Structure 1
Amino acid sequence: MGATPATLTMSQWTTPSVMPAATPASIAFPPAPSTRAAASEASAWPAATAQRVPMTWVVEVGVWAGAVCWELAESRLMAAIILVGEPPAKGRRATLGAMNPPLIGVSTSVTVAKYPERAYVNAAYLNAVQQAGGVPVPLPPQLELPGRAELLKRLHGVLLTGGGDVDPARFGEPTHPTTADISAARDGLEIELTRWAMDKHVPLLAICRGLQVLNVALGGSLHQDISSGPGSPLDHSQAALQGNARSMTTHQVKVQGGSRLAGILGALEVDVNSFHHQAINRLGRGLKDVAWAPDSIIEGVELGDNAHFVVGVQWHPEELVGHDRTARNLFAALVERARASA
């Protein structure tokens, strides 16, 4: 890739002979709605006959470049495509949907046990969002205010990912001996993300732990360990599998006809993988259970309010997108809804 482009402000004008190549350092987020409106009002599209020097928008991470296109670099890192010209007004931006991938915030895990503290995320989530046409933006729990608030303003969708257990104190229960990998920082960020997404009508897809976080954020509770309850014929943790276990399916899920989830999947029965030992117990406010395993464990939920796109599944579709249409449909639905609301 080429040299890192110089940083410009909105008041600087240039006519480059050669457009600089984008680098990962020049990744830029679109502005918050208020900033977008101000920019559009301040500078409408010039008339075709107007003699005006074009403007190259290139900025560093965290500041909008005015770019309406993105591409994935060969390294699979995101690189902004540098455009010449002013950013379009709001109405014109709406016509550029196919060229304007939405930013999907992706929650991350955190570890302090084996290494110095770090945030990390399974690349399968990032790849699934990219394949669906979105731009994944990892959200580390260590991100503090006001940076967190500024980043949230720029997101068009949220993906809550799998990981460790939710602190049972958040739903008023003592910790079970099998409960593990609790992160207060991650719990706090993801519960905040959930409530923010619902308040702002930002589309949200919740996977495995994410479904459990969604439920707890809305006042629900969890079974802390399925195997400690009444006997179940299913091994929801796929503990016996080896090799390519994450892309293998081990049980079936039945989906309620007429539900949003059924419409997204395009099926009433799906074969799923399974990597969890906890499950929904008491449903959170406004949630409907719409998918179940053969042992009646809740495998899918959605918000009863159709004005919000809030869907959660207990399995791991990010590991199945390579060969399963229903898995791809979940990420496509999130990205398309995010694009429509961008």
Structure 2
Amino acid sequence: MKPLIGLTPIVDAGRDSLWMLPGYMQGLEAVGGIGMMLPLTDDAAMLKDIVDRVDGLLLTGGNDVAPVLYGETKETFCGENDPRRDRMEARLIELALQADKPVFGICRGLQILNVVLGGTLYQDLKTQTGTEITHSMDKPYDRTVHEVNILPDTPLAALYGPGPLAVNSRHHQGIKGLAPALHAQAVASDGLVEAVYLPEYRFVQAVQWHPEHRWKAEESQSLLRSFVDACRG
């Protein structure tokens, strides 16, 4: 039986809607998983029921994580926040870790995982760091724009080998302070941590780039397959 993976919904407050990029679903399907968009809720009982039913959790991209969650005041250069999504994902992460269910975060998914575990974020990379790397690329998003360095003795090094990996990139926030429990496994040339993992769990990983936009590429499918395989476990 193919593993069922719950995907957190992307929120469009202006249109009062929830949506999902097809690449998330297509990428999971291509490597033997079934993706299901979850409802937007912070109901404790419903979230517990969701984690009990799914084989894994994928934290998708989307709007900015509220700075109040990491002890900062929101600056003008921070984007739109959705408190209910923040609460939902924070509780889902807690429940998934308690149950040792696989968790994979993409872009915002990496950021909320870092915050929930005690880390902090840059509210806007360009403003706060002056980085010259193209972290927020223009379309098309299925191409690569910069490299990250895969660190040795990490899950990503086991998958790709240590050294450079070309990635796509469309984010304006990123990890400022790495959560104490998280380990870095890929770093951009400006020092930004672009991939993390929790070593004591079956599979808890997150990346700052977007495999859902490049789901046909072998490196994206390898990464998604490692997650889906863990969900089968």
Q: Which has the larger radius of gyration?
A: 1
Whether the 8 Å contact between 1:198 and 1:308 is mirrored in structure 2 is: no
| TM-aligned CA deviation for residue 175 of structure 1 | 0.3
- The answer to whether the 8 A contact 1:109-1:121 is kept is yes
In structure 2, runs of 5+ residues without a counterpart are: none
- Measured after TM superposition, the shift of residue 266 of structure 1 is 4.7
Q: Which residue of structure 2 lines up, in the alignment, with residue 328 of structure 1?
A: 221
Alpha-carbon separation, structure 1, partners of 2:95 and 2:180: 15
Post-superposition shift, 1:123? Answer: 1.1
Structure 2 length as normaliser, TM-score? 0.95
**CA 1:158–1:284: 2 relative to 1, 3 Å:** same
Letter in 2 for 1:331: L
Match of 1:160 in 2: 59
Question: Which fold has the larger relative contact order, with Cα–Cα distance below 8 Å and residues 6 or more apart in sequence?
Answer: 2
Which residue does the alignment assign to 2:9?
Answer: 108
Q: TM-score, normalised by structure 1?
A: 0.65
Match in the other structure for 2:91: 192
Count residues with an aligned counterpart: 233
Structure 2 residue aligned with 1:133: 32
Partner of 1:181: 80
Q: CA deviation at 1:248?
A: 1.2
Q: Per the alignment, do residues 269 and 260 of structure 1 end up closer, same or farther by CA in structure 2, a change over 3 Å counting? A: same
Match of 1:319 in 2: 213
Q: 1:177 Cα deviation (Å)?
A: 0.9
Q: Report SS of the residue matched to 1:229.
A: helix
- Distance of 1:217 and 1:145 partners within structure 2: 17
> What are the superposed Cα offsets for residues 224-260 of structure 1, whole Å, 9 maximum, x if unpaired?
111112322212101xx34xx2101100111011201
Map 1:264-283 → 2, pairs under 5 A:
264-266=159-161, 268-283=163-178
CA offset at residue 267 of structure 1?
5.5
Q: Which runs of 5+ in 1 are unaligned?
A: 1-99
CA distance in 2, matches of 1:224, 1:148: 28
Take 2:94 and 2:83, find their aligned partners in 1: how far apart are those partners? 17
Q: Is the 8 A contact 2:142 2:213 kept in 1?
A: yes
Partner of 2:111: 212
> Shift in Å at residue 173 of structure 1?
0.0
Partners of 1:327 and 1:171 lie apart in 2 by: 30
Identity of aligned residues (%): 33
Correspondence 1:309 to 2:203: yes
Tell me what 2:131 maps to: 232
| 1:128 shift after superposition | 0.7
8 Å CA contact 1:261, 1:302 repeated in 2: no
Alpha carbons 2:41, 2:47 under 8 Å: kept = no
The CA deviation at 1:308 is 3.1
SS of aligned partner of 2:232: helix
SS in 2 for 1:195: helix
2:129 partner SS? coil
CA RMSD of aligned residues (A): 1.5
- Which amino acid in 1 is paired with 2:5? I
Residue 183 of structure 1 deviates from its aligned partner by 0.4
Query: Hey, what does 1:297 align to over in structure 2?
Result: 192
Aligned partner of 1:252 among 124, 134, 147: 147
Distance 1:143 1:303 in 2: 25
Q: Higher helix proportion, which one?
A: 2
The SS at the match of 1:319 is: coil
User: How far apart in 2 are the matches of 1:141 and 1:261?
Assistant: 31
Q: Would the aligned equivalents of 1:265 and 1:330 in 2 still touch at CA under 8 Å? A: no
Distance of 1:246 and 1:189 partners within structure 2: 28
Q: Which deviations, in whole Å up to 9, do the C-alpha atoms of 1:99-145 show, x marking residues without a partner? A: x10110111112221x2x22111111111111111111111213745
Contact 2:11–2:62 (8 Å) recurs in 1: no
